Amino acid sequence: METIIIKPLYHKNVNRLGLYFPYNEELIRLVKTLPDARWSRTHSCWHIADTPDNLKAFFKLMDGKAIIHNKISSERKQSESEQGIKRRGLSGDKNRKLEEFREWLTSKRYSGNTIRTYIDALQRFLEFFNQKAVHEINHQDIIRFNNEYILKNGYSSSFQNQVVNAIKLFFKTIENVKIELYKIHRPKREKKLPNVLSKEEIKAILEAPENVKHKTMLSLVYACGLRRSELLNLKPSDIDSKRHLLIIRQGKGKKDRVVPISDKMIEMLRGYYKMYRPKVWLFEGQKMGEQYSEASIQKVLHNALVIADIKKPVTLHWLRHSYATHLLESGTDLRFIQELLGHKSSKTTEIYTHVTEKSLQKIKSPFDDL
């Protein structure tokens, strides 16, 4: 199977995602189906728009077709550590304000991912008005940016929402411009149902890996409804086996929470611990004390899907969705599920009521009465 390396690419004053792989007609055909996919002679690679939705679409498209080496995070961290947030195509004043905004976000302890997302979104916005001073930008300019950049390029509503968040926060905290922030409209959110697997499919996936570490990681995601980052940030001390609890520290929204952990899962973790003896993180990479990478756990899941012969574009988050839905189907109160998942709003949790098998099966179609 061919290998594709994906990493950040700055091309023609725009942030892109570079796709590096040997010539392969089938992969090229697939890449061309992605929005705004282009070939760069300068960089000798295909490249696509740098958005979360586009990245998700790329992984879904290449599922089972190629092995993906994701170097986005590592390359960006290296770039930022070497040159701060130096931006080509921006004036010195705008670069200074970007740096000031980054320092403010850091001081407020925003997560690294959020900082990178906000800085990138604001950079795109300021580059669009490169011939205009920041203090001259007004509410009408933001509407123009939405129409002529975001909508014209087919960017998603979630990306537009990120840009709105960044702009609002920037003008509120850094730039003393009398801009009517309350008039900056947000796009209507897409209402998508969570992807849920059957218990039989879950069992097939969890039983697929022969490697004890891989099996334990996937099992823990489903057994406790974890996000990917929450799994990788676990430490051995976060397992309270006597109280049958797993402590999740500083999850999404900087919140700690505890979830119950079964005897079966504890026994699996004990067997794993005796075999690997992790020092710092519960799940470590090839080097002792090194945190397991996001790309590696993605590859573990991909291999499990191949072995289990499941053709669906399953992601780790599907296991979390399935955990919540199966809890609801077994009679667990929705308020408890909200706490277990770490949802801030009950509305987020209520979406699982739309996909529970038992609730849907109770509905009788009028067709049956004909």
Q: Return the structure tokens found at 13.
A: 């004053």
Catalytic-residue membership of 43: no
Asked if 336 and 328 count as a contact pair (C-beta separation under 8 A), the reply is: no
Q: What is the 3-state secondary structure (H, E, C) of 271-312?
A: HHHHHHCCCCCCCECCCCCCECCHHHHHHHHHHHHHHHCCCC
As a whole number of angstroms, the distance between CA 42 and CA 95 comes to 26
Give every CB contact of residue 101 below 8 A, 6+ residues apart in sequence.
118, 119, 122, 169, 170, 173, 174
354 φ, ψ (degrees, to nearest 5): -85, -10
Give every CB contact of residue 134 below 8 A, 6+ residues apart in sequence.
93, 94, 97, 126, 175, 177
As a whole number of angstroms, the distance between CA 156 and CA 143 comes to 16
Catalytic-residue membership of 320: yes
Catalytic option among 11, 65, 244, 317 = 317
Catalytic option among 94, 215, 320, 326 = 320
Catalytic option among 7, 71, 168, 343 = 343
Catalytic-residue membership of 270: no
Catalytic option among 65, 71, 227, 257 = 227
The sign of the dihedral angle between the CA atoms of 280, 281, 282, 287 is: negative
Catalytic-residue membership of 29: no
Q: Which alpha helices (DSSP H) does the chain contain, by range?
A: 25-31, 52-62, 72-83, 92-107, 112-128, 139-145, 157-173, 199-207, 212-224, 228-232, 263-276, 294-308, 316-329, 334-341, 346-350, 357-361
Asked if 261 and 223 count as a contact pair (C-beta separation under 8 A), the reply is: yes
Residue whose token pair is 């599907």: 318
Letter string b/e over residues 218-248, b meaning 16 or more CB atoms within 10 A of that residue's CB: bbbbbbbbbbbebbbbbeeeebeeeeeebbb
Query: Do strands 3-11 and 67-70 pair parallel, antiparallel, or not at all (unpaired)?
Result: parallel
Catalytic option among 7, 252, 257, 299 = 252
As a whole number of angstroms, the distance between CA 169 and CA 160 comes to 14
Kindly list the catalytic residues: 227, 252, 317, 320, 343, 352
